[in-house]
Structure 1
Amino acid sequence: MSEDQTTENSTDLESSIEQATEAVTVQSKELDELIDVGDDAQPLGIGNLMGVPVRVTVQVGRARISIAELVQLKPGSVMTLDREAHEPADILVNGRVVACGEVVTVGSHYGVRITDVHSTEEG
């Protein structure tokens, strides 16, 4: 590429950037001033959060397999997990382990009997 072509391409690019910049609409809004409510304000509190839904997952085990093994899976295939049958399952809330328990049946559904609750303290 010659120096003239480079200069021409650079000028075209600058022109395109300038046109694109002019086409952007920017709006600003003045925000209300924050008011200090002092020490009399009530904290959010756990009571206000009690109705918030969380995702609970029961994990009975994991497996690590190759792509070659993965593409061979079909109905009837059995995958061995990393836990023995008697080991407890992990109970996760929003992806974090909070307890463990044993898998049980409740009528025609699976359930989990909590056997241990993990400490919520971070160490």
Structure 2
Amino acid sequence: MTAATLVENIELPELSAKAQGEGAPMARRDLALLDHVSVKLEVVLGQATLTVKELFSLEQGDTLDLETELDAPVLLQLNGKSIGRGHLVAVGDHFGLRITEVAG
């Protein structure tokens, strides 16, 4: 016995000029819907280039020279993408970031 599949045509109304990409966006951004969502930001101080031999010879107490000057801004990242820059500051007993630039 074979199973029959019923398929019905669906008629869609023509899209207006606005819905086709001209004028207002089809979906409005309501950021209030996302207020409770947490995101994790990372602050990138710099980078270092090492050979594999140098990497495997690192020991506790070694100093790793970052290719960043002391007063250079650090990167603020979200999911690996830069979204801003700033300078490190002390906030009580913790590090903080004074934001100097935000990606637009």
Fold shared, TM-score > 0.5 on shorter chain: yes
Task: State the aligned residue count.
Answer: 79
Q: For residue 86 of structure 1, what is the aligned residue in structure 2?
A: 71
Tell whether 2:23 aligns with 1:57.
no
Helix, strand or coil at the partner of 1:68: helix
Q: Where in structure 1 are there 5+ consecutive unaligned residues? A: 1-41
- Residue 63 of structure 1 and its aligned partner are, at CA, apart by 1.1
Question: As a proportion of its length, which structure holds more strand?
Answer: 2
Over 3 Å counting, the alpha-carbon distance change for 1:84 and 1:44 in structure 2 is: closer
Q: For residue 81 of structure 2, what is the aligned residue in structure 1?
A: 96
Helix, strand or coil at the partner of 1:92: strand
Question: As a proportion of its length, which structure holds more helix?
Answer: 1
- Residue 43 of structure 1 and its aligned partner are, at CA, apart by 5.4
- Residue 48 of structure 1 and its aligned partner are, at CA, apart by 0.4
| Identity score, percent | 32
Query: Could you list the per-position Cα deviations for residues 91-116 of structure 1 after superposition, in whole angstroms to 9, with x for gaps in the alignment?
Result: 00121111100001111111111011
Using the alignment, how far apart are the partners of 2:70 and 2:61 within structure 1?
Answer: 19
Using the alignment, how far apart are the partners of 2:29 and 2:93 within structure 1?
Answer: 40
Query: Could you list the per-position Cα deviations for residues 4-24 of structure 1 after superposition, in whole angstroms to 9, with x for gaps in the alignment?
Result: xxxxxxxxxxxxxxxxxxxxx
